[in-house]
Amino acid sequence: MSKQMPWEAYPHIWKTESSFMSWIRGGIRAGLWNKHPVKLEFIKKNRIQIPNPNPKGKKPTVWGAECALTGNIVPINQIQVDHKVGNHSLQSIDDVQSFIEAIVLVNDNDLQLVSKDAHSVKSYSEKMGITFEEAVVEKKVIAFAKLPAKEQTKILTDILGESIITSLNAKVKRIEVYRKFLKGGNNVSG
C-alpha cells in the first residue's frame, strides 16, 4: 500500500503539490533559516555603524551593512543574509533533504549581506537564468509596465523628449522603448 501524499489526503488544505511545497518552503525559512545561529552571528560580525538615515532619528548612528551585490551601505533593517549560491529548488518531496541541507548547512563563506532590493533582483536573475544586470533592467521594466499609460508616457517624455513619444500609443511599444532606454540603446525610436 503506497502512502497518500498530504495534498491528496487533505485537498481542502493543500489544493496541489505545489501549494504543499510552498508551505514547506515557508516553514523551513521561518523556522530554521530565520533563527539560524550561524546566520544571526554572521549579521553581528558584519554589521557596521552608519549615519542615521532618519532625519528625525534620536541616535546619530544606527546599525547597517554594505550590500555585497551593489556596494551600497544601507540600514540593517534593509539587509538580508543571502546564500551566495542560491536558487535552491523545492518543487517536490524528493527535493526536501537537499533543500534543507543547502539552507542550513552553511558557514560564513557561504553567506553574504545584501539589500532587500538587490536580493530580489538576484533571485529573479537566478530564476530567469539571466545576469544580475539584466535582471535589474527587467525588474524596472516590470514596474514600468504596471504603471498607467499616462505615467508611462510622462516618464518616457521626461527621458526621451516629446517628439518620440507621440508615436507610442501602444503599451507594448512604450515598454519596449523603455527597455531599450534602460539597456543604453541609442536608437530607442523603434
- Alpha carbons 126 and 132: distance in angstroms, whole number: 8
Contacts of 165 (CB under 8 A, 6+ apart): 153, 156, 157
- Alpha carbons 32 and 16: distance in angstroms, whole number: 24
**pLDDT at residue 114 in the model:** 97
The whole-number average pLDDT for the span 79-84 is 95
* Three-state DSSP string of the chain: CCCCCHHHHCCCCCCCHHHHHHHHHHHHHHHHHCCCHHHHHHHHHHCEEEECCCCCCCCCEEEEEECCCCCCEEEHHHEEEEECCCCCCCCCHHHHHHHHHHHHCCCHHHEEEEEHHHHHHHHHHHHHCCCHHHHHHHHHHHHHHCCCHHHHHHHHHHHHCHHHHCCCCCHHHHHHHHHHHHCCCCCCCC
**pLDDT at residue 51 in the model:** 95
On the question of pLDDT at 169 being above 70, the answer is no
On the question of pLDDT at 109 being above 60, the answer is yes
**pLDDT at residue 189 in the model:** 54
Q: Please, are residues 51 and 61 in contact by the beta-carbon 8 Å criterion?
A: yes
pLDDT, one tens digit per residue, over 125-161 is 998 999 999 999 999 999 999 999 889 888 888 887 7
**pLDDT at residue 164 in the model:** 62
On the question of pLDDT at 177 being above 80, the answer is yes
Contacts of 94 (CB under 8 A, 6+ apart): none
C-alpha cell recorded at residue 120: 530580489
User: Nearest-CA neighbor of 78 among 104, 45, 114?
Assistant: 114
- Alpha carbons 47 and 150: distance in angstroms, whole number: 42
**pLDDT at residue 175 in the model:** 86
**pLDDT at residue 149 in the model:** 85
**pLDDT at residue 153 in the model:** 82
Scan for cell 498530504, then name that residue. 6
pLDDT, one tens digit per residue, over 23-81 is 999 999 999 999 999 999 999 999 999 999 998 989 999 999 999 999 999 999 999 99
Contacts of 100 (CB under 8 A, 6+ apart): 28, 32
